[in-house]
Amino acid sequence: MRLSRTPFLIRSFLAAALVVGVFLGACSSNSGNYRTDTAHKDLLDGLRQCLVELPISGSRGKDFVSPCVGRDVSSLNGISRGHLQDILGPPRLCLTETETNFPEKDHCPSGQDPVWSFYRHADSIDIGGGPELVCVSHASTRCATVEWRRTK
């Protein structure tokens, strides 16, 4: 009788281990909403196009804010910082809770959040005062959130 129960116990144990493994794999993988599908690719391509066109858009001598500002970017939550930078190019600034810095070697250190500016001031090199796309990463390799912020 013991021998007939052994295969059942082994199968039960393996099934339970498989369920736990799938659950842990899902939890540890890409957190957030980001997927590599057409909608996300189109959103990233659109954001990139807005950044490329920023220097030549709008009327000369007037402030300009990109039409991309306001797009829902929450679906990018969970995207890797590296992939976001590959698409958008080097960030313009790097943020911590207390400071704003310029990128080092075209990227932000892990403790700083990368920022892309989606505005241009008229005939000025001023920094701040417009909408920025921020990858809030909490020192991770992935963006916990991707969000719009207005700098001062």
Give me the pLDDT at residue 57, please: 83
Could you tell me if 109 and 94 are in contact, meaning their C-beta atoms sit under 8 angstroms apart?
yes
Distance CA 46, CA 39 (A): 11
Taking 50 as the pLDDT cut, the residues of the chain under it are 1, 13-30
Query: What is d(CA 81, CA 135) in angstroms, rounded to the nearest whole number?
Result: 7
